[in-house]
Amino acid sequence: MSEERCPTRENRYLTFALTKGRLASQTLALLSRTGISCEEIEDKNSRKLVFVNEELKCRFFLAKGPDVPTYVEYGAADIGVVGKDTILEENRNVYEVLDLGFGKCRMCVCGPKSAGEKLLHHERIRVASKYPNIARDYFYNKKHQTVDIIKLNGSVELGPLVELSDVIVDIVETGSTLKENGLEVLEEICPLSARMIVNPVSMRMETERIKSLIQSMRELNK
Ligand code: PRP
């Protein structure tokens, strides 16, 4: 087998999958404080998809949030940074190793005040969400309430406004989207933030490198 296909410890790249957007910028800022940086990725005009720091033997790529746990589960990336909402929704075989402390928000059941009564009486309501698995787990396994779940891909607050659904299960950060649309938080499901995830095989093969990275990031987050 060629060296490229069977890398030795010394020349093996550690690959990071980062969630495109604000999470990636915050992750890169934190990584650079641990001494891991990548000039190439800062170039906004570049059309490149994979960025390399040859000296540190690190590679980085940006992906849509829901795809990050997929890359990590299959070992295409050793490490991923993604929101806890996505980890819960995708339910992939990865280790969640660190809460990075940014991207904080909450997963909530929201709707008009009037829907509160329907929740209270465990009525068979319609729930719209970008997160059908989280919604199903919450209503069926935690609340033991039978509901109809409708998958949407964004602007979920529209659901109760146009009477597609009674409530929504969605992320609340500042609460301003809800407020501007006459909706409110009815129940809180769980707190969310950015997490670091690791491929289980990478964790065994690169224990020292990954553990020391986790330790440095943990120190910075104190
Ligand atoms: C998210 C979420 C809410 C909004 C909450 O949507 O789905 O709509 O942010 O933020 P707030 O509490 O600060 O108002 P996002 O902007 O990601 O777009 P989407 O509606 O297309 O999912």
> In this structure, are residues 41 and 56 in contact, taking their beta carbons and an 8 Å threshold?
no
Same-domain pairing of 96 and 23? yes
Q: Which amino acid is at 6?
A: C
Same-domain pairing of 99 and 115? no
Q: Cβ of 48: how many Cβ atoms within 10 Å? A: 10
Same-domain pairing of 78 and 177? no
Dist. CA 199 → ligand 1 center (Å): 29
Q: Which atom of ligand 1 is nearest to the CA of 156?
A: 20
pLDDT computed for residue 44 by the predictor: 78
Here the CATH number for the domain that contains residue 25 is 3.40.190.10
Dump pLDDT digits (tens) for 41-92: 887 788 899 999 999 999 999 999 999 999 999 999 999 999 999 999 999 9
Rounded percentage of the chain residues whose pLDDT exceeds 90: 87
Dist. CA 171 → ligand 1 center (Å): 6
Dist. CA 124 → ligand 1 center (Å): 26
- State the Cα torsion 61-66-70-71 to the nearest 10°: 0
Distance CA 101, CA 3 (A): 38
pLDDT computed for residue 135 by the predictor: 98
Per the domain annotation, does 69 fall within a domain? yes
Domains held by the chain: number: 2
Same-domain pairing of 83 and 134? no
Residue nearest to atom 10 of ligand 1 (CA): 173
Q: Cβ of 25: how many Cβ atoms within 10 Å? A: 12
Per the domain annotation, does 1 fall within a domain? no
> In this structure, are residues 192 and 105 in contact, taking their beta carbons and an 8 Å threshold?
yes
DSSP assignment of 93-107:
S-EEEEE-S-S-EEE
Per the domain annotation, does 9 fall within a domain? no
Q: Which atom of ligand 1 is nearest to the CA of 176?
A: 14
Tell me the residue range of the domain where 117 lies. 105-191
Per the domain annotation, does 34 fall within a domain? yes
Per the domain annotation, does 36 fall within a domain? yes
Same-domain pairing of 122 and 180? yes
Would you say the pTM of this structure is higher than 0.85?
A: yes
Same-domain pairing of 167 and 200? no
Distances (CA, A) of 211 to 53, 145, 202, 215: 20, 41, 11, 6
Q: Both tokens of residue 214? A: 């986790």
Residue nearest to atom 2 of ligand 1 (CA): 171
Residue nearest to atom 21 of ligand 1 (CA): 154
Same-domain pairing of 113 and 91? no
Tally of CA atoms within 13 A in the half-sphere of 144 that contains its CB? 0
Dump pLDDT digits (tens) for 8-53: 455 789 999 999 999 999 999 999 999 998 888 887 788 899 999 9
Distance CA 26, CA 43 (A): 16
